[in-house]
Amino acid sequence: MTASPLEPIDRAILRELTVDGRCSFTDLAERVGLSVSAVHQRVRRLEARGVLKGYAAVLDGEQIGLPLTAFISLTPIDPAAPDDYPQRLEHLTQIEACYSVAGDASYVVKVRVAGPTALEELLRQIRELAHVSTRTTVVLSTPYEDRPPGL
């Protein structure tokens, strides 16, 4: 299901937009060496194809009052239970991402909370909502994150 490989110019466009998502079409055109219209066309096509899924502001977790990040591995208590954990947990806004994984656990979720107390409460909610046991890895610091994929 991996779609047609990307052209070099499209890759250049995506690289620029990953670094600066608010870059103007004029600047973008200059950086990739195309006219404004051509870049405009290509960006719209990339958006339509779903390669470019959107644009997001990058926030500083510490400065928005959510300084504690953690990864929580979820292991089902009842192996026969239906596999609907993502939906069961979706409404918990502290959960930033949910991954289905191969390994000891079934899922790994990335969470962001205000502190240890909030983490404890969140763990209680997750266990109750999803009937899972949890293993939590607390993040001490983040040397880097959200780097542009190797385009």
- Please report the sign of the dihedral spanned by the C-alpha atoms of residue 20, residue 25, residue 26, residue 31: positive
Candidates 35, 133, 137, 142; binder of DNA (CB under 7 A) is 35
Regarding 36 and contact with its own copies (CB under 8 A), the answer is no
The distance of closest approach from Cβ of residue 73 to DNA in the complex, given in angstroms and rounded to an integer, is 41
Q: Are 70 and 126 in contact (CB under 8 A)?
A: no
Candidates 14, 32, 74, 126; binder of its own copies (CB under 8 A) is 14
Regarding 149 and contact with its own copies (CB under 8 A), the answer is yes
The distance of closest approach from Cβ of residue 57 to DNA in the complex, given in angstroms and rounded to an integer, is 13
Tally of CB atoms within 10 A around 134:
16
Give, as ranges, the residues between 82 and 141 that touch its own copies (CB under 8 A): 86, 90, 93-103, 105, 108, 112, 137-141
Regarding 41 and contact with DNA (CB under 7 A), the answer is yes
Residue in 66, 67, 65, 72 with CA at minimum distance from that of residue 129: 72
Candidates 19, 20, 21, 24; binder of DNA (CB under 7 A) is 24
Which H or E run includes 37?
helix 36-49
Tokens of 46: 């990339």
